[in-house]
Amino acid sequence: MASRNSTAPFNPLTQVFTIIGADGVTEIPVSVDMVDQVYVERFATQCIYGTQIGTTIIMLVLYLLMTPQVKFRRLPTMINILSLIFNIIRCVLLAWFPSSQWFEFYTIWSGDYSHVPAIDCSTSVAGNVSTIPLIMLIEAALMVQAWAMIQLWPAVYKFPALILSTLVALVAVALKFTDSILQAFYIARGSPPVLWVRKIDLAFSSASIFWFCFLFNVRLAIHLWVNRRILPSVKGMSAMEVLVLTNGILMCIPAVFAGLEYGTWAAYEFGSLTYTSVVVVLPLGTLVAQRIANPGAFTAPEDSKPRSSRGNGLPFLKSWHSHTVSSRVESNGNSSRDKNSGPDDGFAKYEGADAEKGVRVARQIEHHEETKE
């Protein structure tokens, strides 16, 4: 057997080399396969965080540009903007980790972190702590969206769902706060990690995503059952109907990432992808709902259109054919016609909050054609 092993062909991919520890005596064996695995994890981590940063920046720019100015003072809008900003900060701080001395060759294999500079420790601590305000904003956004969709439910279903949603959100925030603080002490002071807190935090974070995904899809299922259709009618869909549809479908994306957290995916941090997906899909659903339900809110007013220098009121390019979409907004409290009109009178609600204030939009499209004389 000895002679057979001695004549076996050499495989360079399975060779093992040795590095010496800080005491100058301890030998630490390292294989080529172990080195390859670290390189894969490093590149995958940087790609994932870079993708999250780019996606969040694009969503933030789109949200700022496409949100009507009158809605910037509303609570859901402010929560969405702050969530996107904090997610960018969090991802930038965490993306620094693979490029720091935490990921140097000797540090990884020896486990000696004494030479890691303070700037890298502070960056890692800040990256972990930045998750606390982000999870608070995420849970707040989910609560606001959930309340907007279940507030018309019967009390026997509405209040239990609201209480359970509040408890799930508060427990998820409390556990994330505890885990982030313990992780910060582990990085800064070398305290032993408390693994059971991390496991419970992972469980409740996933439970929060699963619960709100279930809640949104239950609302979507109820809507489909009542209306017996998924496509809009000839009168279109209201903002609330579109919001129910988009939230129910888009929240499945974070739920998938939350489920993948329990797999053995060493090179992929699905926990971070879960937070980013929630931060992105909620503003996206809101923009889609606003755009479909009230397209006139995204068009420029008539006064801003260019006119000819002669002041005759004609368009600057009068040889073009123009189609003007006009909308009429009336108040339910000031119009007797609205009080007597039924649900199918051609009016569509514009978002849940505005509908309660009695504002309805009449979608009447008038086509005006102007031709060059």
Domain boundaries, the chain: 16-293, 301-365
pLDDT in the model for residue 171: 94
pLDDT in the model for residue 219: 77
Average pLDDT (56-70) is 91
Confidence of residue 253 (pLDDT cuts 50, 70, 90): confident
Cα separation, 230 vs 139, whole angstroms: 28
Burial class of residue 108 (count of CB atoms within 10 Å of its CB; 0-12, 13-18, 19+): middle
pLDDT in the model for residue 129: 92
One-letter amino acid of 293: A
Read off the pTM: 0.71
Any idea which fold 16-293 has?
Rhopdopsin 7-helix transmembrane proteins (1.20.1070)
Summarize pLDDT for 176-223 with one digit per residue, the tens: 999 999 988 888 877 777 888 888 998 888 899 999 988 888 877 877
Average pLDDT (337-357) is 42
Q: Which runs of consecutive H residues, i.e. helices, occur in the chain?
A: 2-6, 32-66, 75-95, 105-110, 118-129, 131-150, 155-189, 195-227, 239-250, 252-260, 270-293, 336-340, 352-356
14 versus 340: the higher-pLDDT residue is: 14
Confidence of residue 255 (pLDDT cuts 50, 70, 90): confident
Summarize pLDDT for 128-186 with one digit per residue, the tens: 899 999 999 999 999 998 888 788 788 888 899 999 999 999 999 999 999 999 988 88
